[in-house]
Amino acid sequence: MTVDSVEFTQRLSERAIEVEAALEQILDPTPQADEIARPAHLLAAMRHGVLNGGKRLRPFLVLETAALAGADPQAALRVAAALECVHCYSLIHDDLPAMDNDDLRRGMPTVHVAFDDATAILAGDTLLTLAFEIITAPQTPTDDANKAALVLALARAAGIGGMAGGQALDLEAEKTTPNEAGIITLQAMKTGALIRFACEAGAILGNASKQDHEILIRFGEAIGLAFQLADDLLDVTSDSEHMGKATGKDAEQGKATLVGLHGQDWARRQLAGLVDEATGLLDRFGDRAQTLCAAARFIADRDR
Amino acid sequence: MTVDSVEFTQRLSERAIEVEAALEQILDPTPQADEIARPAHLLAAMRHGVLNGGKRLRPFLVLETAALAGADPQAALRVAAALECVHCYSLIHDDLPAMDNDDLRRGMPTVHVAFDDATAILAGDTLLTLAFEIITAPQTPTDDANKAALVLALARAAGIGGMAGGQALDLEAEKTTPNEAGIITLQAMKTGALIRFACEAGAILGNASKQDHEILIRFGEAIGLAFQLADDLLDVTSDSEHMGKATGKDAEQGKATLVGLHGQDWARRQLAGLVDEATGLLDRFGDRAQTLCAAARFIADRDR
């Protein structure tokens, strides 16, 4: 039995609705009992940056790896929402004029355009902070050992050795073209680290065996590489109307990518190899891993 | 036995040296074994924002409340360092041109001046993230329940209902003058929340009784109020050369403060009352709390 792409996109959108509802509840604008105050303007900016109809791919990976590992679904949903807060904070900050200076994201004005730069900086800051609150809050039904492990893994994935460090390398890469090894490091940090964390989170939540834990991490690394290759292909082959954001920027800015170095055919062969590697890793789980295998194919096929 | 101000400043600077050494080790620029990469430029910006000779008052409060509660000193030092990372991230972001636009901090160029805006944004982001990594890392010798509790309390203190939310209110306050209640809320969030956390952290680390825990929190709230009042007084009475940062900005920007509303004499009487309240709360601990009592007096007397 395999999950075909129609079944997969159906499941992805069902999961996105669950995640959206969890995020909506977490960012509920009605005042909460135990708070001093949440400034309405800042909360509106956080909501603008998060409740934007994204595909919720990273949360999807948390939910599906958690299900595979037998974790509590409610705990998985909370961690999925936390991870999406980190992803959305990074988009808000990356879009700032001082960084990538993007006005458009999923067809909508970016947070600093809809609000202002100061509010966008603070909305990113508070979303990052909120992620750690969500994981450790009493509403997240997993034990303290798992909470501490999740915080540590997420902080490492998002920090200077992960996503934010990757963004710093990306800004440098516009000035000093990195070589192939440099591009791979940059992408493993900027994009790969959070996708890897998504798959590790399921293993942590499900108290997976050491071997299953390792395999889910390696699966996350393989699809993280595939995600970035597919993204670079999309930047070359797609147009801005279809993407809902600026495209063709890599070539325009002289930014080095593996697609730019080796060409589209090479990239498509690499993608196929990564999908084989990722799905092969999950053989041991049999049919229960079919949705994750379909996710690997979906990630690689986004440019079709 | 009381600790006089000379003994106190001596102890404060001894503690600052311990904290500085812990931060230096955490931000060690030599490559670490288990990392992909840490961009040198970004790490340098983090170091510039953190290793700047600050008084380390918040870390001091963690260390002293932890000692009072009988906590592991090494765990307290790690949490103290984590809190200082959060404090320094907030200074880096607050100083940005899009926010308070300050070029000078403790007599040195601010991070966005010494580096650039993008690097300052990322340095703040990575310091905030690092704080949660420090708390949950294996090198912090406290149990997972305490780690999860510390992460939750710190995230709440730093997030939209705490410090960052207070900064958002502060930016609004430059446009729409808040009333007295609004000023108190703003200051409790922007400045009070992290000081309150510093004192709660000691209680968590020492597994304090529920009553001691509550008392340390109330102590933190009282000295947090005192800290802000003393800061507002300093802004009125001090000069920029002595402070190492811009002063007189509140009045210049038409920013409402309690000192502006009620005058300097009222503020000094309030401060004395807060010191009495804070030191009275610690009566139950006897002589062991003398250093913390001296800290309350020190915080209130900073404008002399």
Which chain A residues contact residue B221 at CB under 8 A? none
Please indicate whether, in this complex, the C-beta atoms of B148 and A152 are within 8 angstroms of each other: no
pLDDT at residue B52 in the model: 87
Strands (E) located in B169-250: none
Q: Which of B99, B100, B132 best probes binding to A when mutated, by most A CB atoms within 10 angstroms?
A: B132
Mean pLDDT (whole number) for B85-112: 96
d(CA A112, CA A105): 11
The confidence band for B249, taking pLDDT boundaries of 50, 70 and 90, is low
Question: What is the separation, in whole angstroms, between the first and last Cα of chain A?
Answer: 24
Q: Is the pLDDT of residue A252 over 90?
A: no
Q: Which of A122, A158, A167 sits opposite B167 (nearest CB)?
A: A122
d(CA A185, CA B39): 11
pLDDT at residue B115 in the model: 98
Task: Indicate the range of A209-223, A238-252, B203-217 predicted with least confidence.
Answer: A238-252
Q: What is the DSSP string of chain A?
A: ----HHHHHHHHHHHHHHHHHHHHHHT--SPPTT-S---HHHHHHHHHHH-S----HHHHHHHHHHHHTT--HHHHHHHHHHHHHHHHHHHHHHTSTTTT---EETTEE-HHHHS-HHHHHHHHHHHHHHHHHHHHSTTS-S-HHHHHHHHHHHHHHHSTTSHHHHHHHHHHHTTS---HHHHHHHHIIIIIHHHHHHHHHHHHHTT--HHHHHHHHHHHHHHHHHHHHHHHHHHHH--HHHHTS--SHHHHTT---HHHHH-HHHHHHHHHHHHHHHHHHTGGGGGGGHHHHHHHHHHHGGG-
Q: Classify strands A108-109 and B104-105 as parallel, antiparallel or unpaired.
A: unpaired
pLDDT at residue A53 in the model: 83
Q: Which of A89, A159, A172 sits opposite B133 (nearest CB)?
A: A159
What B217-222 contacts at long range (C-beta under 8 Å, 24+ apart), as own/partner pairs, is B218/B281, B219/B65, B219/B278, B219/B281, B219/B282, B219/B292, B219/B296, B220/B61, B220/B65, B220/B195, B220/B196, B221/B188, B221/B192, B221/B196, B222/B274, B222/B277, B222/B278, B222/B281, B222/B296
Mean pLDDT (whole number) for B72-92: 98
ipTM at complex level: 0.95
| Tens of pLDDT, residues A66-82 | 999 999 999 999 999 99
Q: What sign for the dihedral angle of Cα B145, B148, B151, B153? A: negative
Q: Is the pLDDT of residue B243 over 70?
A: no
Mean pLDDT (whole number) for B88-93: 98
A183 phi and psi angles, rounded to 5 deg: -65, -45
| Tens of pLDDT, residues A92-124 | 999 999 999 999 998 999 999 999 999 999 999
Which chain B residues contact residue A35 at CB under 8 A? 161
The confidence band for A243, taking pLDDT boundaries of 50, 70 and 90, is low
For residue B21, give every residue at least 6 positions away whose Cβ sits within 8 Å of its Cβ, in sequence order, or none: none
Residue B282: what residue type?
L
Pair A218, A140: CB distance under 8 Å: no
CA A214 to chain centre: 20
Mean pLDDT (whole number) for B176-199: 94
Q: Which of A43, A93, A161 sits opposite B160 (nearest CB)?
A: A43
- The proportion of chain A whose per-residue pLDDT surpasses 70, expressed as a percent, equals 92
Q: Is the pLDDT of residue A256 over 90?
A: no
- The proportion of chain A whose per-residue pLDDT surpasses 90, expressed as a percent, equals 82
pTM: 0.95
Higher model confidence: residue A204 or residue A53? Answer: A204
| Tens of pLDDT, residues A269-291 | 999 999 999 999 999 999 999 99
| Tens of pLDDT, residues A158-196 | 999 999 999 999 999 888 889 999 999 999 999 999 999
Q: Is the pLDDT of residue B241 over 70?
A: no
d(CA A74, CA A77): 5
pLDDT at residue A176 in the model: 84
Q: Is the pLDDT of residue A304 over 70?
A: no
For residue A265, give every residue at least 6 positions away whose Cβ sits within 8 Å of its Cβ, in sequence order, or none: none
Residue B231's SS3 state is helix
Please indicate whether, in this complex, the C-beta atoms of B171 and A118 are within 8 angstroms of each other: yes
pLDDT at residue B209 in the model: 98
Query: Minimal Cα–Cα distance from B3 to chain A, Å?
Result: 34
Please indicate whether, in this complex, the C-beta atoms of A160 and B119 are within 8 angstroms of each other: no
- The proportion of chain B whose per-residue pLDDT surpasses 70, expressed as a percent, equals 92
Please indicate whether, in this complex, the C-beta atoms of B158 and A129 are within 8 angstroms of each other: yes
Please indicate whether, in this complex, the C-beta atoms of B185 and A37 are within 8 angstroms of each other: yes
For residue B66, give every residue at least 6 positions away whose Cβ sits within 8 Å of its Cβ, in sequence order, or none: B72, B73, B75, B76, B79, B201, B202, B205, B206
Task: Indicate the range of A150-159, A224-233, B250-259, B280-289 predicted with least confidence.
Answer: B250-259
Q: What is the mean pLDDT of chain B?
A: 93
pLDDT at residue A251 in the model: 66
Strands (E) located in chain B: 104-105, 108-109
Mean pLDDT (whole number) for A223-238: 91
Q: Is the pLDDT of residue A36 over 90?
A: no
- The proportion of chain B whose per-residue pLDDT surpasses 90, expressed as a percent, equals 82
Mean pLDDT (whole number) for A5-13: 95
pLDDT at residue B1 in the model: 61
| Tens of pLDDT, residues B143-183 | 999 999 999 999 999 999 999 999 999 999 888 889 999 99
Q: Is the pLDDT of residue B304 over 70?
A: no
Q: Which two tokens stand for residue B184?
A: 């108190």
